[in-house]
Structure formats: structure tokens, C-alpha cells
Amino acid sequence: MSSCALGHGPALPPWPFQGPLEPVFAAAIEVFMAIRTILEFPDPRLRTRAQTVARFDADLHRIIDDMLETMYAAPGIGLAATQVDVHQRLVVIDISADRADPLILINPEILTREGEIATEEGCLSVPGYYDEVKRASRIRVRAQDRDGNVFERDCADLLAVCVQHEMDHIEGKLFVDYISSLKRERVRKKLEKERKDRAARASTARESRRAL
């Protein structure tokens, strides 16, 4: 790791940050900005089936707040805990235009499904890829809120699609599982190449800083 010119610690990486950061900077960003790293396909951790949330405490509230901040910053209209490597049954959603109407679903269950809707979906864990997926157009969901209170909600259209997409994440399922294996393999190769290129650029940048 290169040092700061005053000898107080590691030198700041060039802005904008690209690729993996030195652990000390990644930790500082997590503490001060609470934006968590989103796992990308084909990371095997995205295939984990999440555990039931049992404790509605300050740790859970911290994860929820970080997930909301991460979703708004991405930007996205939803985020599942699995995507930030937290394997608990927790999702956050906000499809509102003013980005000020968050819906938090803990231990969600779909009680009823009706109709069908085909939507062009995206995923923060599959950046740059969009494809049509057919899902139920109206669902009734039962979940718990951040304090553990049980509630039920009817969801339609984009909200219904988003809830189903996020609930797939906590089962370890991705929207690319609904497309052909040929397309999925193409997406996997492209994202693997982008990840390797990013890592190589970060390594070159580290070497250059060391040489200074």
C-alpha cells in the first residue's frame, strides 16, 4: 500500500474510484456513507437461501438503513439483503417518483398471486443487462416491519414485479434464471471479463502509486 505524503497513512486512491479499493478506504466508506458493495453475477454468494430474521434490534436497523442508502445511491427501485452479502430475509423497495416512500419487507411471504405481466427487468447484481420476465401482476404479501409488526399489503404492476424480483433474491434466484442458458452464459462471460478488467486496472493504479 502506498503512503500519504505526510506519512499519516495510506495515500488516497484516485477519484472516481474504480475497481477494488484498499481495505482501509472500503471500510471508511462503509462507516461514513453506509453504502454497501453490491455482489455481481455470477458471484456464488448470490445463490444463498437467506435465513428468517429473528431479532428486530439495532443491528437489523443498521442493515436496513444501509440497504436503503445503497439502493438510492445505485440507483435502484429495490434491493435484497442477499445482494449486499447479508443472508437474512429482508428486502427494501421504493418505486415512488420522489424516492421518499420506502417499503421494508422482513420475512415476506406471498399469500395470493393473480394475473400475468411481462416487464423489462434489470438487476443491480447484473449491471447493464435487461430482459423481459413474466410474473404475477397482482399479489398479496404478508411481512414484518422493522419493529417486527406483521402486516399485509396488496401490490400490483411494477410494485408486484419488484416484490417478486426481490423475493427471488432471498431464495438465491436471479432474473437471468428465467432467460435461456445461452443468453445467461453470454451475460456471465461479459460480466466476468468486466470484473477482471477492473481488477487489472486497480492493480496497475496501485503499482503506479507505489512507483511514485
- Does residue 75 have a cis peptide bond before it, meaning omega lies within 30 degrees of 0? yes
Does 75 participate in binding ligand K1U (rule CB under 6 A)?
A: yes
> Smallest distance from the beta carbon of 204 to ligand K1U, in angstroms?
30
Q: Which of 163, 64, 57, 169 is nearest to 117 (CA)?
A: 163
Q: How far is CA 72 from the centre of its chain?
A: 11
Report the alpha-carbon distance of residue 52 to residue 87 in Å, rounded.
9
Does 122 participate in binding ligand K1U (rule CB under 6 A)?
A: yes
> Smallest distance from the beta carbon of 43 to Zn ion, in angstroms?
13
Cell numbers 434489470 correspond to what residue? 122
The partner in contact with residue 135, picked from ligand K1U, Zn ion, none with C-beta cut-offs of 5 to 8 angstroms by kind, is none
> Smallest distance from the beta carbon of 165 to Zn ion, in angstroms?
6
Helical (H) or strand (E) element with 51: none
Q: How far is CA 154 from the centre of its chain?
A: 24
Question: Which residues make Cβ contacts (< 8 Å) with residue 200, sequence separation at least 6?
Answer: none
Residue 60 vs 92, nearer CB to ligand K1U: 92
Q: Which of 153, 172, 175 is nearest to 81 (CA)?
A: 172
Active-site residue, selected from the candidate residues 30, 109, 132, 166: 166
User: Of 79, 136, 155, 176, which lies in the binding site for ligand K1U, with binding defined by CB under 6 A?
Assistant: 79
Binding mask of the shown chain, residues 151 to 190, with x at each position contacting ligand K1U by CB under 6 A = ----------xx--xx--x---------------------
Residue nearest to ligand K1U (CB): 76
Question: Which residues make Cβ contacts (< 8 Å) with residue 188, sequence separation at least 6?
Answer: 41, 42
> How many chain residues are in contact with ligand K1U, going by CB under 6 A?
17
Residue 166 designated active-site? yes
Residue 13 vs 131, nearer CB to Zn ion: 131
Binding site for ligand K1U (CB under 6 A): 75-80, 119, 121-125, 161-162, 165-166, 169
Catalytic residues: 166
